[in-house]
Amino acid sequence: MGSEGVILPRHLVLVPCPYQGHINPMLQLGTILHSRGFSISIIHTQFNAPCPRNHPDFNFIAIPDGLPDHLISSGNIPVILLAVNANCHKPLKDRVAQMMQSEKPNGKVSCIIYDEYMYRAESVANSLSIPSIMLRTNTVSTFLARDFVLRLIDEGQIPLQGSIMEKPVPEHYPLRYKDLPTTIFKSLSNFVEVVKNVRLVGSSSAVIWNTVECLENPLLVQVKQQCRVPIFTVGPMHKSAPQLSTSLLKEDYSCIPWLDKQAENSVIYVSLGSVACISEHELAEMAWGLAKCNLPFLWVVRPGLVRGTRNVQQSLPNGFREGVGERGRIVEWAPQEEVLAHKAVAGFWSHCGWNSAVESIAEGVPLICRPNFADQKVTARYVTHVWRVGMQLEEELERDAVAAAVRRLMVEEEGLEMRERAVELKGRVEIGTRRGGSSFKDLDKLIDMIRSF
């Protein structure tokens, strides 16, 4: 209560991890909490800093991350994350401590909500006696699979080799050993350090999960039993937050009028997310496969998609653009949520980052899964074998296989059945976010908890 009896908004500090697939859910959460009366500060790194323009109600504060250019361009994610956590700990603590000295009535911080990969934020909160809550931006299945990988590491079985790769993992249906999130990058010890830290809830009061009960319920029950603090599954958050751009790259909206001109349920949308990379040869095979499938396509060819090339558009094979003409649209970055919601779009070829997968599921769009690394392989298996709303393209990227996979999803009986199941699943996810649904109720419980701090 303020001095004149006015209820002042409580101030929350949100600490996103500096990757697109993590910034999006954190800003969506901020938008939801702001609409429920909280004031929001986003404390973020200079690397991959989010754009404040689209969120005028938030207070954006950049802190030095000390990341040298060569480390950023190395793409060695575990080392980058270790450095971000180590380098940002003091600046984050100083900035929040300063806020706690604020004379403004709502200047003091009620709670720090941090991405699981920004785990040092928990110790900042603890040392300043501020409650904290962790946000997990991935699936429960990935969380459990990561735990299993830690066990295999303890047993000296990682890196996995030989025939075991094709075998099913006991107790982790539908995963095979090769689907486990074992992307270590360069050093096993760095990978282990990150994964172990991400696992820990520490002194945090709760865990928020960007998933929804109807997708993951048996596993969710299991983790809820094991976790000593409440877990709130409030996803998919993009459906509860108004569509505001959270992109680091500028979306090319010219694809929307192009989609408007296409027939209903005719377009395959292709995007491998914000981090995955392919070789120039794979890009060419994708291109010729899309040309051969003879269906309209919208393809995101983002800068950096091809290893070692910045100007990736120039890497497209000669004659490809002319050959496909108006049937194919290529953009550097798309307004993905709008694209997936467009009535012309009937399929999504995706790397299966969790945001992309859940955005597709939430619109009833079936997927061709082409996971690239880490959790994407787990999600791909759930899409194909548990939710059964997609198929995985496992063979080598080769133009005939690409064309055949696209046609299988888009026009063949098997694909049409997947689309029917996807539409049905969309309905169940929608129920979860509606008033009275599981995510809606969990959001209310989360807000009650934060208000109680």
Mark 238-257 with x for binding to ligand UDX (rule: CB under 6 A) and - for no binding: ---------x----------
Q: How far is the CB of 255 from ligand UDX (least distance, A)?
A: 9
Q: Which is nearer to ligand UDX, 39 or 182 (CB)?
A: 182
Q: How far is the CB of 240 from ligand UDX (least distance, A)?
A: 14
Candidate residues 41, 132, 141, 274; the one interacting with ligand UDX per rule CB under 6 A: 274
Q: How far is the CB of 130 from ligand UDX (least distance, A)?
A: 27
Q: Which is nearer to ligand UDX, 378 or 450 (CB)?
A: 378
Q: Which is nearer to ligand UDX, 252 or 398 (CB)?
A: 252
Q: Which is nearer to ligand UDX, 346 or 374 (CB)?
A: 374
CA atoms in the 13 A half-sphere facing the CB of 117: 21
Q: In what order do the strands lie in the sheet with 267-271?
A: 328-331, 297-300, 267-271, 345-350, 367-369, 390-392
Q: How far is the CB of 274 from ligand UDX (least distance, A)?
A: 3
Q: How far is the CB of 376 from ligand UDX (least distance, A)?
A: 5
Q: How far is the CB of 352 from ligand UDX (least distance, A)?
A: 7
- Confirm if 198 and 77 have CB atoms less than 8 A apart: no
Instruction: Give the number of residues in contact with ligand UDX, rule: CB under 6 A.
Output: 25
Q: How far is the CB of 145 from ligand UDX (least distance, A)?
A: 12
By CB under 6 A, what part of segment 318-377 binds ligand UDX? 333-334, 336-337, 353-356, 359, 374-376
Q: Which is nearer to ligand UDX, 179 or 359 (CB)?
A: 359
- Confirm if 404 and 198 have CB atoms less than 8 A apart: no
By CB under 6 A, what part of segment 296-315 binds ligand UDX? 300
Q: How far is the CB of 353 from ligand UDX (least distance, A)?
A: 2
* β-bridge mates for residue 381, sequence order: none
DSSP string, 20-35: HHHHHHHHHHHHHHHH
Residue with tokens 């000295």: 101
Q: Which is nearer to ligand UDX, 39 or 141 (CB)?
A: 141
Cα–Cα dist 14/40, whole Å: 7
Q: Which is nearer to ligand UDX, 99 or 361 (CB)?
A: 361
Q: The tokens of 437 are what? A: 């649904």
Q: Which helix (H) or strand (E) holds 144?
A: helix 140-154
Q: How far is the CB of 242 from ligand UDX (least distance, A)?
A: 15
Q: The tokens of 328 are what? A: 């194919």
By CB under 6 A, what part of segment 4-23 binds ligand UDX? 19-22
* Omega within 30 of 0 (cis) for the link into 174: yes
Burial of 325 (0-12, 13-18, 19+ CB in 10 A): exposed
Comparing C-alpha atoms, which of 398, 405, 419 is closest to residue 369?
405
Cα–Cα dist 63/52, whole Å: 14
Length of the chain in terms of residues written: 453
CA atoms in the 13 A half-sphere facing the CB of 159: 8
The values of phi and psi at residue 252, to 5°, are -95, 100
Q: Which is nearer to ligand UDX, 31 or 110 (CB)?
A: 31
Kindly state whether residue 190 participates in binding ligand UDX, applying the rule CB under 6 A.
no
Cα–Cα dist 359/342, whole Å: 12
Cα–Cα dist 205/133, whole Å: 6
> By the criterion CB under 6 A, which residues form the site for ligand UDX?
19-22, 24, 138, 247, 271, 273-276, 300, 333-334, 336-337, 353-356, 359, 374-376
